[in-house]
């Protein structure tokens, strides 16, 4: 962690309005950093990031000179009564973190510019700190999604249906942890509307939300990532567009495709179709042998997918799958919540079984 310059005590060189701007933005940056720090401490248990954020807060406190505080005029500040509807609700921890990273970065930019009227050290220090915060944002938000991906054992891939949003919500209530919106034929305006609704819904339930194929839609609705087929964008291109924080998955049907996807930087892979499925009518079933291969060789999270239902789930799990992705078994179910609960219970049982310590003696 690079050291930021200390701020020397300099004589006042700006008027009261500039002092008030500096005072407000020092407070704003410290508050935002504290909110992020709390998640790193209690949510991620990351001592390194917690210490770095604490150091940044303490540095800002050192810069907060008494003459700046003395110019504070809270009763006369018109901004205290201004608000925005988006500030009234946060749909997920990710949304909280994103909002506060933006808050800190904007405050540091204001400190950098107005600091030039007060102290060159404050301006330079604010600029250096802003770049540190950019790096932290990438590490924390990217790591947060990756952590949730590692924990997500049940994955719903949607197919068009008349009651898509209520069906997805019912599945989320049953424990689905990851949802992919897949629709190849609806016009873009409706897809955008549905994607936004589904993203908000998933985040309300703490689930990850991905979009099939369409990087542009993923960016438009701030999805957690995309899932790409073998003939879609190269992973490197998608990563360049989406950045390092978002998740990129890749469909694979054989060991060569699996190894290539891993080498190209996929965050997870789909393994299948395990059984023949109308969702992929042009794909022959890869079978349980490919599931067994993935269980032995995959080095990133992977989901068995393709024709999996309540009747064959046990065989898929016995072949080595800890994570499964389903389509029709939930989308076409009379009770999506109940089916999702069954899948969640079975995969959680498998994860627990695999993580139990070996018996001694």
Question: Which pLDDT does position 92 carry in this prediction?
Answer: 77
Give 259-276 pLDDT, tens digit per residue. 999 999 999 999 999 998
Looking at CATH, the fold of the domain delimited by 152-355 is given as: TIM Barrel (3.20.20)
Question: Which pLDDT does position 138 carry in this prediction?
Answer: 81
pTM as predicted:
0.70
Question: Which pLDDT does position 11 carry in this prediction?
Answer: 43
Q: Which pairs with CB-CB distance under 8 Å and at least 24 residues apart come from 250-258?
A: 251/227, 253/283, 253/286, 253/290, 254/286, 254/290, 255/290, 255/293, 255/297, 257/230, 258/293, 258/294, 258/297, 258/298, 258/302
Question: Which pLDDT does position 10 carry in this prediction?
Answer: 42
Res. 251 pLDDT band, cuts 50 70 90: very high
Question: Which pLDDT does position 13 carry in this prediction?
Answer: 44
Average of pLDDT values for 15-32?
Answer: 94
Give 153-167 pLDDT, tens digit per residue. 999 999 999 999 999
Res. 9 pLDDT band, cuts 50 70 90: very low
Least confident of 78-87, 138-147, 248-257, 289-298: 78-87
CA distance 251 to 270: 5
Within 10 angstroms of residue 117's Cβ, the number of other Cβ atoms is: 15
| Residue 3: pLDDT over 70 | no
| Residue 82: pLDDT over 70 | no
| Residue 130: pLDDT over 90 | yes
Average of pLDDT values for 79-108?
Answer: 77
Ranges of each domain in the chain: 12-72+91-144, 152-355
Average of pLDDT values for 220-238?
Answer: 95
Question: Which pLDDT does position 313 carry in this prediction?
Answer: 97
Average of pLDDT values for 274-290?
Answer: 87
* 340 touches 154 (CB < 8 A): yes
Q: Whole-angstrom distance between the N-terminal and C-terminal Cα of the chain?
A: 47
Give 191-203 pLDDT, tens digit per residue. 999 999 999 899 8
Residues annotated as part of the active site? 182, 251, 280
Question: Which pLDDT does position 121 carry in this prediction?
Answer: 94
CA distance 330 to 182: 14
* 157 touches 182 (CB < 8 A): yes
């Amino acid at each position: 962690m690079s050291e930021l310059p200390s701020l020397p005590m300099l004589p006042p060189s700006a008027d009261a309005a500039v002092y008030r701007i500096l005072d407000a933005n020092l407070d704003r940056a410290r508050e935002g950093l504290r909110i992020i720090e709390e998640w790193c401490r209690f949510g991620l248990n990351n001592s390194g990031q917690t210490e770095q954020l604490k150091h940044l807060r303490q540095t800002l406190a050192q810069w907060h000179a008494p003459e700046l505080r003395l110019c504070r005029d809270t009763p006369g500040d018109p901004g205290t009564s201004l608000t925005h509807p988006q500030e009234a609700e946060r749909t997920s921890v990710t949304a909280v973190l994103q909002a506060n990273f933006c808050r800190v970065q904007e405050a540091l930019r204001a400190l950098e510019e107005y600091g030039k009227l007060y102290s060159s050290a404050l301006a330079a220090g604010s600029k250096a700190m802003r770049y540190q915060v950019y790096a932290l944002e990438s590490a924390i938000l990217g790591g947060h999604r990756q952590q949730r991906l590692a924990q997500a054992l049940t994955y719903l891939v949607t197919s068009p249906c008349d009651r898509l949003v209520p069906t997805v919500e019912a599945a989320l209530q049953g424990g689905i942890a990851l949802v992919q919106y897949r629709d190849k034929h609806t016009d873009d305006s409706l897809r955008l509307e549905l994607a936004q609704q589904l993203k908000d819904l998933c985040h309300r339930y703490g689930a990850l939300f991905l979009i099939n194929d369409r990087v542009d839609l993923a960016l438009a609705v701030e999805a957690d990532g995309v899932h790409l087929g073998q003939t879609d964008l190269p992973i490197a291109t998608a990563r360049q567009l989406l950045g390092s924080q978002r998740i990129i998955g890749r469909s694979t049907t054989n060991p060569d495709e699996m190894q290539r996807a891993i080498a190209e930087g996929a965050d997870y892979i789909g393994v299948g179709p395990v059984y023949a499925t109308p969702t992929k009518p042009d794909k022959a079933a890869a079978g349980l042998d490919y599931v067994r291969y993935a269980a032995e060789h995959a080095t990133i999270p992977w989901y068995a997918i393709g024709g999996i239902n309540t009747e064959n789930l046990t065989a898929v799990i016995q072949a080595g799958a800890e994570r499964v992705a389903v389509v029709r078994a939930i989308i076409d179910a009379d009770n999506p919540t109940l089916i999702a609960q069954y899948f969640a219970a079975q995969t959680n049982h498998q994860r627990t079984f695999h993580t139990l310590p070996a018996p001694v003696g």
